[in-house]
Amino acid sequence: MVKIGNIELGEFPLLLAPMEDVSDPPFRAVCKANGVDMMYTEFISAEGLIRDAAKSIQKLDIFEYERPIGIQIFGDKVEVMREAAAIADSVNPQLVDINYGCPVKNVACKGAGAGLLRDLPKMQKMTEEIVKICKRPVTVKTRLGWDFETINILEAAKRLQDVGVQALTIHARTRSQLYKGEADWSWIAKVKELPDIHIPIFGNGDIDSPEKAWEYRNRYGVDGIMIGRAAIGYPWIFNEVKHYFKTKEKLPPPTMLQRVDVCKQHFEFSLQWKGEKLGIFEMRRHYSNYFRGVPDFKPFRTRLVESVNPAEIREILDEVAQKYQFVQTEDVPAEMGEVNY
């Protein structure tokens, strides 16, 4: 049984990555319904939290059906992160997660996210202060290092555990790689092999199929897997991985009716949480992913992204279901594009 503090996550948990502009409550709802074991909010600016910025505060919204859930924060100033962690802790998540992995320029190059990999003493101090202030377990998500010449994940893992971090997720790329090239999970295995490491170590990067999840579980000895980009438009991946682990057989890909049904659920959650105007607008980024590989889908997508009427969007989705109900969909998750997390 994998545990973070007193949080029991099963024998081999599957986690949903915290992805900016993706893993909001509507997206989390459909992933929860499709087998994910633990989820995280989008990463939240520490500066935004302590200044009561509306966008940051809204990201603290969590719901009972989502549990267990972690709130992830990022920032470059120790005291600001400490205050933000206290705010995150106060809304009663299962845990508070620190983002030491975001590679994008306006985060990492300002000393936050993966930028802390260039200053491990500061990372350690920041983490120590957050652990002290939080009543709940504190976890970390990070990368291998800043670049290939400065891979320091082994030292970072030991420092983080020493100050009280209760689980570590490692994206198996350096900051300089962004999301390009192949993730090198051998470094995650090296962390697991450290004799003093006893906290759960979760692997992240390039998991896009049940077969790869099984292979990486066995090859690298991780305690669980975090899935990010492959779940965008394809929340079925969590149940597919679990089924494969139990039976060594692949589930059939979702039918078109299932794709439409889950897309509709996502849409309705989006309207409920964000309101009609913003809910419609932000849902537009998801249609291509839900219907990836569907032949001649472009006219439908155009209509979906141009419509500002919920009833019309529902009708268009019904048309999609009617037209493609007998089409065999390919077992292809969303393309592994770049997402900030």
Query: Annotated active-site positions, please?
Result: 102
The alpha carbons of the chain give a radius of gyration, in whole angstroms, of 20
Residue with tokens 């500066």: 47
Residue with tokens 């149940």: 239
Q: Is 327 helix (H, G, I), strand (E, B) or coil?
A: coil
Neighbours of 234 (CB within 10 A): 25
Tokens at 43, concatenated: 């990463």
- Burial of 113-127, coded b for 16+ CB within 10 Å and e otherwise, reads bbbbbbebeebbebb
Instruction: Give, as one character, the DSSP assignment of residue 77.
Output: -
Angle subtended at Cα 17 by Cα 86 and Cα 286, rounded to the nearest 5 degrees:
115
Q: Is 235 helix (H, G, I), strand (E, B) or coil?
A: coil
- Residue 158 has φ and ψ, to the nearest 5°, of -65, -40
Neighbours of 180 (CB within 10 A): 9
Q: Is 167 helix (H, G, I), strand (E, B) or coil?
A: coil
Q: Cβ contacts of residue 40 below 8 Å, gap of 6+?
A: 15, 16, 17, 18, 23, 69, 70, 71, 72, 97
Beta bridge partners of 125: none
- Sign, CA torsion 51/52/55/57: positive
219: Cα separation from own chain's centroid: 22
Closest CA to 224 of 165, 278, 170: 170
Kindly give the interhelix angle for 25-32 and 256-274, rounded to the nearest 10 degrees: 140
